[in-house]
Chain A
């Protein structure tokens, strides 16, 4: 299957700082990428749909000013957690592809963010 790579795999940051997470599709172009958040022992909650060349579409309840998404190329989307707080600590997962009928989504390995 196609490969989606996330970087970093884990990051620890101080409260109040910003953290950028990258999601790359390595062997295919992705006009649409998705960002999920997974709390311990819970399911993946869709945060936003990242659209190449246009603004991201955020799910209800997700603060767009806090979780900045940029999808500047067909192989890269970034999620920046701004002014991070301990409650932002979570596992963030991106997926690429899967933006239409009968298409499969491929997932990155996830990024564990810990805010101290």
Chain B
């Protein structure tokens, strides 16, 4: 069963548009949540992470994500995207007390039009 679902496989936006990428996970226990970005030809970089505390987390490059426990969601947002945000974005979940491994969603390819 798919543990991490990213609903949008390919998103195309114009510069300055607002962005929201969906991520849902299927696990009822404690989780750590991550968003990673992979720019063309580069390795994965951490955008932001949620471990505990304030469910609204802010990451690098103006990205933020909100953990909504009741919805098992951790959506990524950015109010105004830039051409340089063109990349692939991966949501990832660590399911604690199960296997501690980090499982990735299928990724969302974001294309920003200049």
Contact = CB atoms under 8 A, between A and B. Distances in A.
Contact-size category for B: 20 to 34
Interface stretch (A12-20, A78-86, A104-112): A104-112
B32 A108 contact: no
B104 A1 contact: no
Contacts of B34: 104-105
A93 B44 contact: yes
B103 A104 contact: no
Interface residues of A, number: 24
Contact of B100 (A44, A45, A101): A101
B52 A102 contact: yes
B77 to A, nearest CB: 21
Interface of A: 1, 34, 36, 41-46, 49, 93, 95, 98-102, 104-110
Given A101-B100, A109-B43, 14 more contacts: A36-B104, A42-B106, A43-B90, A44-B90, A44-B104, A46-B103, A95-B102, A101-B30, A101-B94, A101-B96, A104-B49, A105-B102, A106-B46, A107-B43
17 contacts: A36-B104, A41-B109, A42-B107, A43-B104, A44-B44, A46-B102, A46-B103, A49-B101, A93-B43, A98-B94, A99-B100, A101-B96, A102-B52, A105-B102, A106-B46, A107-B36, A108-B43
Nearest first, the 4 A-B pairs at minimum CB distance are A109-B43, A107-B44, A43-B106, A102-B51
